[in-house]
Amino acid sequence: MTSQLTWSDGELSDARWLIDRALQEDLHGQPDPTTTSLIAPETMAKVTIGSRAHGRLAGLPVVKLVLDALNADADMTVFKHDGDVITPGDVIVSLRGPLGLLLVAERTILNFLIHLSGIATVTSQYVDLVKGTKAVLLDTRKTLPAYRTLAKYAVRCGGGTNHRMGLYDGILIKDNHLAGWRQQNPTGTLADAIHEARRRQPGMKIEVEVDTQTQLADVLQARPEIVLLDNMTLDELRQAITMRDQFAPGLLLEASGGVNLKTVQGIAQTGVDRISVGALTHSAPALDLGFDWSI
């Protein structure tokens, strides 16, 4: 079992907000007519949430938060924790409480768990492929709206590292920013843009995207903290590292674009410091988990 991961206050707050909206979406403030038609309020049941696939668990605190939101008084026994490897047949958690409320909670609980565990599972696959290299595997801002903190938590459950949380906590100058800036500064260079950002946002780390060696040479003059190497070939990545080592040692190089499970190992072996992968959060398939009960 991995060292146990816990949610921050911010992650808990975001989860409660999402759960409230998920339950409103499902119930519209009304009782579930299927459950109330068929299940007597006093009926108790034991429920187990288990794995039907190999993967990595993420999002377990959602179980209690959903039950609390429904005022479901249920006993909960936890067998697995976030970050744990799970295999088919593993019991993750067992619950004993009112059957009707457990059935109402079922889909909301699973929707969170399968999505977040899917992210953790894919992340762990990427992390395994870059082991033995210096590369740190990073997520991006390509998350479902309002899911950012939970998705990035799931990345950590899979052994990955979080990039900036949002626009507010880091400067990342990309091609569209530069295109807009050059409308106002037609003779300006990439280095000029970095100096301007540093002047306006002193103390904030700056990352700049480049897609050619010429752009990289320009950027290195201004010494941002990180340079994002966008959609470069393996040879181009190696050339970029050589140029960095010569002109700006200590500056971090991050590869992005065209990164998938087939290419990530080769990219890591070039010697880049960081690899960012949007697929960790925007394309992770759901992990198959089950919700089974017995009266």
Q: Which residues are catalytic?
A: 107, 142, 174, 209, 230
End-to-end CA separation in angstroms for the chain: 31
Say if residues 121 and 87 touch (Cβ distance below 8 Å). no
Q: How far apart are CA 236 and CA 238, in angstroms?
A: 5
Cα 29 to Cα 38, 52, 139: the distances in Å are 19, 32, 36
